[in-house]
């Protein structure tokens, strides 16, 4: 996605970054118009690697043949939530955001089949806690 391209260009510089992208493009098997399609194409064997948003990869990490690594110095790309400036339901929206950030809301996000992880560390006995720590503590490539 564009955040990955922008991050690479910022880290390597314009010339070296585009050189890396164009060199990598020579190995492309296909181009996906959808971010979530990349992980599915890798899992099905249509490719061996691809840039993918972490939550799409997280859904597939129970497959022992797949792994996910963040780019060095990757920016965290959270799921965004906001209240429109002229929202007719700003109070309800504010309550919803508070709920999402509450311990109960974070537990629900942690248990959802979205590939998302909560903004707070999972309890050690949570089945996804180990994966959350692995993802958040990735060493540079």
Per-residue pLDDT of 35-87, as tens digits, reads: 777 888 888 888 888 888 877 777 777 788 888 777 777 766 667 889 999 99
Structural domain ending residue among the three candidates 41, 62, 77? 77
Are residues 88 and 65 part of one domain?
no
Q: Are 58 and 70 in contact (CB under 8 A)?
A: no
Domain count, the chain: 2
Return the structure tokens found at 20: 């890396």
This prediction has a pTM of: 0.59
Full domain range(s) for residue 84 = 78-141
Residue keyed to tokens 């990598």: 24
Are residues 87 and 59 part of one domain?
no
DSSP secondary structure string for all residues of the chain: -HHHHHHHHHHH-HHHHHHHHHHHHTT-S---SSHHHHHHHHHTTS-S-----HHHHHTTTTSTT----PPTTPPP-PPP----TT-TTHHHHHHHHHHHHSHHHHHHHHHSTTS---SSPPPTTSTTHHHHHHHHTPPP-
In this prediction, residue 138 has a pLDDT band, given cuts at 50, 70 and 90, of low
pLDDT at 120: 82
Are residues 90 and 62 part of one domain?
no
Structural domain ending residue among the three candidates 77, 102, 128? 77
Between 119 and 93, residue with greater pLDDT: 93
Are residues 70 and 87 part of one domain?
no
Structural domain ending residue among the three candidates 54, 77, 100? 77
pLDDT at 75: 63
């Amino acid at each position: 996605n564009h955040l990955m391209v922008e991050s690479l260009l910022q880290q390597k510089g314009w010339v070296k970054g585009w050189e890396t992208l164009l060199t990598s493009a020579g190995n492309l098997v296909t181009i996906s118009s959808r971010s979530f399609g990349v992980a599915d194409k890798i899992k099905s064997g249509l490719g061996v690697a691809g840039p993918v948003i972490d939550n799409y990869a997280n859904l597939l990490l129970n497959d022992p043949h797949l792994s996910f690594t963040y780019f060095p110095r990757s920016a965290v790309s959270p799921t965004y939530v906001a209240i429109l400036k002229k929202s007719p339901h700003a109070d309800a929206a504010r309550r919803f955001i508070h709920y999402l950030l509450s311990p109960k809301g974070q537990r629900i996000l942690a248990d959802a089949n979205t590939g998302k992880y909560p903004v707070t560390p999972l309890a050690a006995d949570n089945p996804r806690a180990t994966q959350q720590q692995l993802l958040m503590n990735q060493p540079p490539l």
